[in-house]
Structure 1
Amino acid sequence: MSYKYVKRTIEPQLCRAAKEFPAVVLTGPRQSGKTTVIKEVFGHDYKYVSMELPDIRIIAENDPRGFLAEFSGRVIFDEIQYCPVLLPYIKELIDSDRQTKGRFILTGSQNLMLTENINESLAGRAAILKLYPFSLREYSHAGSSPFPWEQGYDPEQKKVPEENLWQFLLRGLYPEIATDTHRSSSLWHSSYISTYIERDVRLIKHVSDLGNFQVFLQALAIRNGQLLNLSEISRDIGVAVNTVKNWLSVLEATFQIVILRPYFENAGKRIVKSPKVYFTDIGTLCSLTGISDPVHLQKGPMGGSVFETCVIMELVKTFSSRAEPPKIYFWRTSAGDEVDIVVIHENKLIPIEIKLSSTPKISMARGINVLKEALPDKCLNGYVVYPGSLRLPLGSGTTAVPLRAF
């Protein structure tokens, strides 16, 4: 492999799934390390076949049964979305021998295409897991260590890289660029975006105008972490609202963005229902917004949004690596009171505020206190995550926690 392998926290879940299901499907964005981790975990016992290769794909499409007959043992089909015609025939083989577990390992970077075909062909027969780019925990070799509200949490265990955080975030957390500091991160991300648009987006029927799609990507990046206003984006880039909706679904389906939805209960009619959008990788976000300097990243207008994205994606990546659906929301009222993140934990709410300031203040917990007053029976202790160094109480059951200890 071209870069040093960093152990992924999803590995135990992959092994467990292969012991319990006939097939395992690993999805995630292109270049998140799916092929590498699959080969690391299963490569010694499985034959590997890339469905991205045109000659292999033609053979499989022309004679699916004959193609599969060549693989009587365990097999990895990488990038299966390029050859969905195989899925019904894989189902046929599974149904002929339901007792054999872990026979097929499938990977794919386009969840929109995969989910439809897998739901039709492999429902109940496949475990579906997601692999994102590195979490800070993975890169710092902290594993899937607990969050502050979880059992076994150790505030002394550092979960961020020792080097400059902002320089690191600017490079991004895709394995290839994160582990090879000699490569140009700006060139890597610009190439990644071009390849993504040319190869992945072309395969999805909603996108015909790739030039406007690039403009849409940049317009969305500028609004990273803001309430999503489809009409505003539609007006600014000159395309229909329905087109914006379709393109947004393309980004979500290919794991380029995470959509954070508002938390509300039946009684909360004042809660704003518009979602927020966060880019999966900060390096990609910086490339789209033209940020190339770590000082500009930290001190500029995108600093707060980027730091918020860093914390949110740490939650999403960690929960996903545990094979747990990330139950993460934000809370906001029409009066403007807001909590950046609400995590549902054991049917209770963990409110989290994210602040860029290195000096925690009691006022930072205001939104958390408002939420606790609104839902006193559901809220547990809250946290303010900030880029400082000390763990400090902020009163009323809220604690300021440095990112490195979060």
Structure 2
Amino acid sequence: MIKRTAQKIIEESLYKGKVITIYGARRVGKTTLSKAILESQRAAGKRVNYLNCESSNVKNRLETTNELQLKDFLGDYELVVLDEAQNIERVGHILKLLVDTYPDIQIIATGSSSFELSNQVGEPLVGRGREFKLLPFSTGELAADMGMIDLSGRLESLLRFGSYPTVFGVSETDAKEELNDIAGKYLYKDILAFENLRNSDLLLDLLKLIALQVGNEVSLHEIGTILGLAGTTVKRYIDLLEKCFIIFRLPALSRNLRKEIAKSRKIYFYDLGIRNALIQNFNTLDIRNDVGALWENFCIVERMKRNEIRRFRPNTYFWRLYSGPEVDYIEEHGGRLDGFEFKYGTTGKFRPPRRFIETYENSTVNLVNPDNWYEFTLK
């Protein structure tokens, strides 16, 4: 089993009087991670328990504000995992009651979609909790398990099939089946319930349009026109898809020049296997016309994973002038801007955009390609 980097960080945060919440899309390994933490803590002599909140019995017993009944149900354990905790009504208030009344019981709550769990948990647990976001395997986790040489040999596979735990390392046939299963059965489950929608065709069509525009600026008006939806409706669905850890947005940087793109957004996928399943394109890279977009998406999401595990949260952007010069990805931190351009091909000399360097003091722009990608995503 590939060890998740988050496990060590989460274990270092235990028994400090705070609820630990683990968010992530379905099938990214939240249950596996929480059970690994339980086993580790059991081996250290702690009394631990696992509760599946999709069970009606567990759900009913936890939906009370009677602290004595809660304590009676939880028992004499030092660490309790509440898996899929978003199924518990008013879960945030119940977690607040538990941490305030029984601070010696460490609670770990997992949730498959942030719009269900964090909306209920966020405000009640202000100052009482720590949040962790779990994504598909990162290249850092994979490199720690197999080494950089073997991982580099699987780079094309990562661009085609992504890194969901149940997908990575299996045959291409099995990978396609699993990704189609996730995209068909699990991807929209929370949104359909939240929006009371019975048909996922609309969300599927929206995601297909986004998938075909990875690396380009996305027009909500244009998407709305194609789908027959108002721009505000498109924005709401994109918000929900982002909160379900399917896609994420990157805004434009614009501060000094009139010719800078200001209000545009780019949209990327948290996993390229899901993106490719949506458009049913698992072809090898030598016969694809979207390799540049795949490479850009891959580098940015792997950098995000790196930053998340380090608890490093810079402001992030892309930059472009109407006349063409652009920077694919920018991190703003410590009063400086660090820009990156992503090129899958390694030919030609790279020159940073002159207008960007001249306009923003203390800025840099570096090239990320298959020869040095690990420095960008791992170091």
- Paired with 1:167 and 1:236, the residues of 2 have a C-alpha distance of 32
Q: Which amino acid aligns with 2:28?
A: S
Q: How high is the TM-score relative to the length of structure 1?
A: 0.83
Q: Deviations over 1:33-70 (max 9, x none)?
A: 11111211233242111112334324433787534531
Query: CA contact under 8 A between 2:215 and 2:266: conserved in structure 1?
Result: yes
CA contact (8 A) 2:136 2:271 kept: yes
Which of 53, 60, 63 lines up with 1:61 in the alignment? 63
Please give the per-residue CA displacement for 1:196-231, whole angstroms capped at 9, x wherever unaligned. Answer: 245222222274542212111111111122112001
Matches within 5 A, 1:273-292: 273-292=263-282
User: Partner residue of 1:33?
Assistant: 29
Q: C-alpha distance in 2, partners of 1:142/1:186?
A: 23
- In structure 1, the residue matched to 2:202 is 212
2:132 equivalent in structure 1: 129
CA distance in 2, matches of 1:160, 1:308: 22
Q: Is the 8 A contact 2:138 2:163 kept in 1?
A: yes
What amino acid is aligned across from residue 321 of structure 2 in structure 1? T
Judged with a 3 Å threshold, the aligned counterparts in structure 2 of structure 1 residues 206 and 383 are, in CA distance, closer, same or farther, namely: farther
Report the Cα distance in structure 2 between the residues aligned to 1:326 and 1:189, rounded to whole angstroms: 31
In the TM superposition, residue 241 of structure 1 has moved relative to its aligned partner by: 1.7
Match of 1:371 in 2: 356
Letter in 2 for 1:324: F
Determine the structure 1 residue equivalent to 2:323: 335
What is the identity, as a one-letter code, of the residue corresponding to 1:223? Q
TM-score by length of structure 2 reads 0.88
User: What code does the residue aligned with 1:216 have?
Assistant: L
Q: Does the Cα contact within 8 Å between 1:172 and 1:283 map onto a contact in 2?
A: yes
Give the deviation of 1:97 after TM superposition. Answer: 4.4
Aligned ranges 1:352-391 → 2 under 5 Å: 352-359=340-347, 361-362=348-349, 364-367=350-353, 369-375=354-360, 377-380=361-364, 382-387=365-370, 389=371
CA contact (8 A) 1:159 1:404 kept: no
Q: Partner residue of 2:299?
A: 311
Candidates 14, 19, 23, aligned match of 1:23: 19
Using the TM superposition, name which of 186-195 and 64-73 deviates more.
Answer: 64-73
Q: 2: distance between equivalents of 1:88 and 1:166?
A: 46
1:62-81 residue pairs with structure 2 within 5 A? 65=67, 66-72=69-75, 73=77, 74-81=79-86
Amino acid at match of 1:57: K
Please list, as runs of the form range in 1=range in 2, the aligned pairs for 1:214-253 lying within 5 A after superposition: 214-253=204-243
Where does structure 1 lack aligned partners over 5 or more consecutive residues?
144-156, 390-401
Distance 1:62 1:95, change over 3 A: closer
Query: Secondary structure in 2 aligned to 1:176?
Result: coil
SS of the equivalent of 2:93 reads: helix
The alpha-carbon distance between structure 1 residues 8 and 242, as it changes in their structure 2 partners (threshold 3 A), is same
CA distance in 2, matches of 1:374, 1:142: 43
2:95 equivalent in structure 1: 90
Q: Is 2:245 the counterpart of 1:255?
A: yes
Alignment partner of 1:184: what SS? Answer: helix
CA–CA distance in structure 2, aligned partners of residues 142 and 60 of structure 1: 38
Task: Say if 2:249 and 2:268, in contact at 8 Å, map to a contact too.
Answer: yes
1:309 aligns to what SS in structure 2?
Answer: helix
Shift of 1:240: 2.1
Which residue of structure 2 aligns with residue 8 of structure 1?
A: 4
Cα 1:52/1:347, change in 2 over 3 Å: farther
Give yes or no for contact 1:64–1:86 (8 Å, CA) kept in 2.
no
Separation in structure 2 between the aligned mates of residue 253 and residue 302 of structure 1, nearest angstrom = 26
Distance 1:308 1:128 in 2: 27
Matched, 1:324 2:324: no
What is the distance in 1 between the residues matched to 2:298 and 2:330? 15
Residue 249 to residue 30, structure 1, CA distance change in 2 (3 Å): same
Residue aligned with 1:10, SS:
helix
Q: Structure 1 residue aligned with 2:170, among 136, 156, 180?
A: 180
Task: Report the AA paired with residue 300 of structure 1.
Answer: R
Report the number of matched residues.
366
Whole-Å separation in 1 of the counterparts to 2:8 and 2:314:
18
> Given the superposition, is the C-alpha separation of residues 136 and 282 from structure 1 closer, same or farther in structure 2, using an over 3 Å criterion?
same
Mapped contact 2:91–2:121 kept (Cα < 8 A):
no
2-structure distance, mates of 1:355, 1:32:
28
User: 1:51 matched to which residue of 2?
Assistant: 53
**Is the 1:129–1:323 contact (alpha carbons within 8 Å) kept by the matching residues of 2?**
no
What CA distance in whole angstroms lies between the structure 2 residues aligned with 1:268 and 1:142? 46
Report the Cα offset of residue 176 of structure 1: 1.3
Q: Which whole-Å CA distance do the structure 1 matches of 2:52 and 2:227 have between them?
A: 38
CA distance in structure 1 between the partners assigned to 2:363 and 2:149 by the alignment: 26
Does residue 301 of structure 1 match 2:320? no
Identity of aligned residues (%): 25
Matches within 5 A, 1:92-107: 92-98=97-103, 100=104, 103-107=106-110
Contact residue 91 and residue 120 of structure 2 kept, 8 A: no
- Confirm whether residue 112 of structure 1 aligns to residue 115 of structure 2: yes
Relative to structure 2, which stretch is displaced further, 173-182 or 54-63?
54-63
Asked if 1:193 is matched to 2:177, the reply is no
